[in-house]
Amino acid sequence: MANEAVYGIQPGEAPWFSTLRVLERHVGALSAIAFVPLTGPLLALAAASFAIRMFAIEGINHRYFSHRAYKANRPVQFVLALLASQTGQRGSLWWGSKHREHHKHAETDLDPHSPATHSFFESYVAWFRRPHHAATNLDAIADFAKYPELRFLDRYYWLPFYAGALLLVLACHYGLLGAAIGGIAGILWGFYVPCCLVLHATSMINTFAHMPQIPGGYRRYDVDDDSVNRPALALFTLGAGFHNNHHRYGAAARAGFAWYEIDVSYGVLRIMEALRLIRDVRSTIPEEILIEGGLRPRGKPA
């Protein structure tokens, strides 16, 4: 049968475990601020760690696993998913399937995190701990779920996530990141602070980028949802803040459609393409969409 499940539903963790993971991240970040003075080397570590993890969300989980905006061979694909596991936002199959669900049902009760149909608290933080949202519908992302190594990473995402934290501690302890960064300082500022910020960055896109009533954004396209472009949020999220653009044409590897819309993730993807790590990056925005958005002049009527 055409609708028969192939891979099925992969159960998620219990709500208490999801809550514990979020609390752990915040306790770690607050401990860094309270007990470990921020130095230049620690700031550089935190900024680099945040940038890598934020790109893993936007450039990998979003533009690759959710929208297939570029192509990668199987080994590179696995490395991308492994890197994305360092965000701590479950596996790439879970992330991609939920984002596809968001686009399919935007601003309805079936949208996992719409602030138009759910409370702000539910949309910002509570939704992902619900058992039906914690589970992964593998058939909703069967194009990637067919790879057993990705299913493994999705099921045991916490293994590489905390293994990465352990490697960071060891690298700092043995001076591989400089004598000025110890193990405790390294994990607090290089792991917990960036992971906490990336979690909030994703939540802000899920909420503020769908709340046009809040100042500071603009809607270029009259789409059937409440998506809004937020330039300040786009800088923080490496391009994800151009959300109205994205909801109008999500197939592109770029969210910034105008020259002044800075999209860092797209720039990184183009560099990766030049290095032949990935290929077929979808860069072109259809002319009719640019005209619709006022980014190209309309032709003279015949």
Query: Cα–Cα distances in Å, from 48 out to 31, 82, 300?
Result: 20, 18, 49
Burial of 29 by CB count in 10 Å (0-12 exposed, 13-18 middle, 19+ buried)?
buried
Average pLDDT for 78-103: 97
- For tokens 């991609």, the residue is 96
Average pLDDT of the chain? 95
Average pLDDT for 47-65: 98
Per-residue model confidence as pLDDT tens digits over 130-145: 999 999 999 999 999 9
Q: Given phi > 0 = left and psi -120 to 50 = alpha, else beta, which region is 281?
A: beta
Q: Write the CB contacts of 201 (distance below 8 Å, at least 6 apart in sequence).
A: 54, 57, 236, 237, 240
Average pLDDT for 42-66: 98
pLDDT of residue 227: 98
Per-residue model confidence as pLDDT tens digits over 12-39: 999 999 999 999 999 999 999 999 999 9
Checking if the pLDDT of 4 tops 80, the result is no
pLDDT of residue 297: 87
Checking if the pLDDT of 300 tops 60, the result is no
242, two tokens: 């151009």
Checking if the pLDDT of 2 tops 70, the result is no
Please, which pLDDT band fits residue 298 given cuts at 50, 70 and 90?
A: confident
Average pLDDT for 39-62: 98
Checking if the pLDDT of 299 tops 70, the result is no
| Portion of the chain with pLDDT greater than 70, in percent | 97
The candidate with the shortest Cα–Cα distance to 246, out of 285, 296, 297, 288, is 285
Cα dihedral sign for 60, 61, 65, 70?
Answer: negative
pLDDT of residue 301: 45
Please, which pLDDT band fits residue 302 given cuts at 50, 70 and 90?
A: very low
